[in-house]
Chains A and B, each alone.
Chain A
Amino acid sequence: MKPSRRSFLTGAAAAGAGAVATVAKGQGAPDPAIVEQQPWRTFLGEGVDAYPYGMPSEHEAHVIRRSVPWLTADPISSVNFTPLHELDGIITPNGLCFERHHGGIAEVDPVEHRLMINGLVDKQMVFTMEDLKRFPRENHVYFLECAANSGMEWAGAQLNGCQFTHGMIHNVMYTGIPLRLLLEEAGVKTNGKWIMVEGADAAGMNRSIPIEKAMDDCLIAFKMNGEALRPEQGYPVRLVVPGWEGNMWVKWLRRIEVGDQPWHAREETSKYTDLLENGTARRFTWEMDAKSVITNPSPQAPITHGPGPTVLTGVAWSGRGTIPRVDVTIDGGKNWYQARMSGPSLNKSMHRFYFEFDWDGTPLLLQSRAHDSTGYVQPTKNELRAIRGENSIYHNNGIQTWYVNEQGIAENVEIS
């Protein structure tokens, strides 16, 4: 059976009324989950050879990437979304990391893969994957956020769920080699001020990056969360550009050219430029500004337990540093509380926050507000619109509001 979101929400409404099978108190009769013996208490389970590469429990089959078919002309140059409302902590499981391709998933044979460095270098070079794995490695946890994350929400509340409004993001530990080491191996000439990075896929994705960033913290990554990159994330090798818009994290990286000026490729002229209300457009808007979202409760994760102790949680991140603080409100911004940050707090990574409160069963207007280590405080959507208008597509880091009704059902709304 495949219940629709509506039937799921109807179920949640019933849950709000107190008719939940899993509530273990006040039932009078003994709980069959206790007094009747379960099959897993009786029969032996599968042996260790059943799943050489394990998958989640079948009861978690709803925790999947989802797409919004009307967003793009076809599913090849398209995007799907990480199910943020089902995740906790800060690490995104590899199989749930959102995907964005412009020419589909390139199925690259690592033995046949080459990385070339050419242009304004002392020595034009070619590396195999084997060569790359002989350079010193580093490990870093970084978020990768699509520049268009929340872009559908510029003109108002559209999509009902944080998976869809905020799910073009993932946060994993990358293992890779500093890009600086490769550029030094080739020897960047003094007039080498920019690099162009290019993918091996059918889109030949190319972007220009200033040499300062390339020499600072970019990585040539071949592992994510300990294992090889997934094909959809650039196997066997991708660029990591910490804090900067996801488009620049070129997958299936095959070439780096050094030049004295930017290339103005399609993905930094036609796309990934931000049109303002007066008809002019920002270019090279690389950093992803401080942002946050409450993942629970949210439209796909309603409150099903009724009034009483309630865990509110979410994630925050900034392309310009760490997140020392997140504020949350449950009354639409009349009053704010500092959320509790939990777990590692790393530079240009996701941060997890919690706010525990006793829900009294009245409607809620939930918001979160991230502060980053530069002192920047996440703005409201209207504050951004006042500066940019509604047509910039990219870089929407405005505060998200969820309305939660008496039944615990949550909805994407905008408020005054």
Chain B
Amino acid sequence: SREGGYGLGREALPEEVAAWDFDVRPDGLGLPEGSGDVWTGEEVFVEKCSMCHGDFGEAVGRWPVLAGGWDTLENKDPVKTIGSYWPYLSTVFDYVHRAMPFGEAESLTADETYAITAYLLYVNNLVEDDFELSHENFAEVRLPNEGGFFMDDRLETEFPAFVRPEICMENCKETVEITMRASVLDVTPEESGVVE
């Protein structure tokens, strides 16, 4: 670093910051003014989203499931959706607004994004069908799994076990058995692109 900086770059204009800075945080910082209700959301969703995500967020083929999966997080095959897994509604708004529809990012208006978000709450059984979401009531909506996350704790839960001053080098076990083989599953792609 250098005292006074390098004097490189220039000041960003307010219009430039506004054009790019549209991210939204859990506390609502960054939310644009606007609103949208469940029924409007359903119309937009069916038109722009359902070909991949299904009419009710249940997904088509391998595309992501957006609704359902409640109480499956402890299952062998958990279904992680907005309703079952995501902690914050702000993430739904932010991600839909910035990156969806897949292949036509940043094409949704603020009102359309509010409406889609309201519809996604509805198909996750979190609001009634007459619900309208807006920048004013956004922060009141909480998702079921908000408390389901905690800060990385590996240093407390794993390091005491895995920092090992002594480690066995000789005669460490009597027997060893193969318990699982990848070739039984046989899901590895054939090698392609090998040219002779």
Contact = CB atoms under 8 A, between A and B. Distances in A.
Interface stretch (A2-10, A13-21, A43-51, A348-356): A2-10
A236 to B, nearest CB: 16
A131 B12 CA distance: 14
A327 interface: yes
A176 interface: no
10 contacts: A61-B195, A124-B11, A159-B187, A181-B6, A255-B20, A264-B87, A266-B94, A334-B174, A375-B165, A412-B182
Size category, A interface: 35 or more
A273 B150 CA distance: 9
Interface string B68-87: 00000110101010100111
Given A66-B192, A126-B10, A403 B178 contact: yes
B28 to A, nearest CB: 12
Interface in B3-41: 5-6, 8-12, 16-17, 20-21, 23, 25-27, 29
- Top 10 closest A-B pairs, CB basis? A332-B176, A279-B73, A73-B62, A412-B182, A266-B95, A204-B98, A124-B12, A279-B74, A157-B182, A414-B180
Interface string A310-331: 0000000000000000010001
Interface residues of B, number: 84
A334 B173 CA distance: 5
Interface stretch (B42-50, B121-129, B154-162): B154-162
B11 to A, nearest CB: 6
A275 B171 contact: no
A264 B90 CA distance: 8
A226 interface: no
Nearest to A378: B162
B86 A270 contact: yes
B149 A62 contact: no
B57 to A, nearest CB: 13
Interface stretch (B100-108, B111-119, B134-142): B100-108
Contacts of B158: 289, 379, 387
A270 B168 CA distance: 40
Interface of A: 1-6, 8, 58, 61-62, 64, 66-70, 72-74, 76-77, 102-103, 116-119, 123-128, 131-132, 134-135, 156-161, 164, 180-181, 184-185, 196, 198, 202-204, 206, 254-255, 257, 259, 261, 263-266, 269-270, 273, 275, 277-287, 289, 299-300, 327, 331-337, 365, 369, 374-379, 383, 387, 390-391, 403, 411-416
Nearest to A335: B170
B130 interface: no
B5 to A, nearest CB: 5
Contact of A134 (B6, B62, B162, B170): B6
Contacts of B177: 415-416
Interface of B is mostly: loop
Contact of B178 (A68, A334, A414): A414
A378 B163 CA distance: 9
Nearest to A130: B8
Given A134-B8, A204-B105, A387-B157, A158 B193 contact: no
A76 B163 CA distance: 40
Nearest to A125: B9
B2 to A, nearest CB: 8
Given A159-B187, A196-B23, A383 B162 contact: yes
B6 A58 contact: no
Given A270-B86, A336-B168, A376-B159, A58 B187 contact: no
A263 to B, nearest CB: 5
Contacts of B76: 390-391
A299 B189 CA distance: 13
Given A275-B78, A416-B176, A375 B163 contact: yes
Nearest to A384: B158
A184 B188 CA distance: 48
Contacts of B169: 327, 335-337
Which of A77, A269, A336: most chain B Cβ within 10 A?
Answer: A269
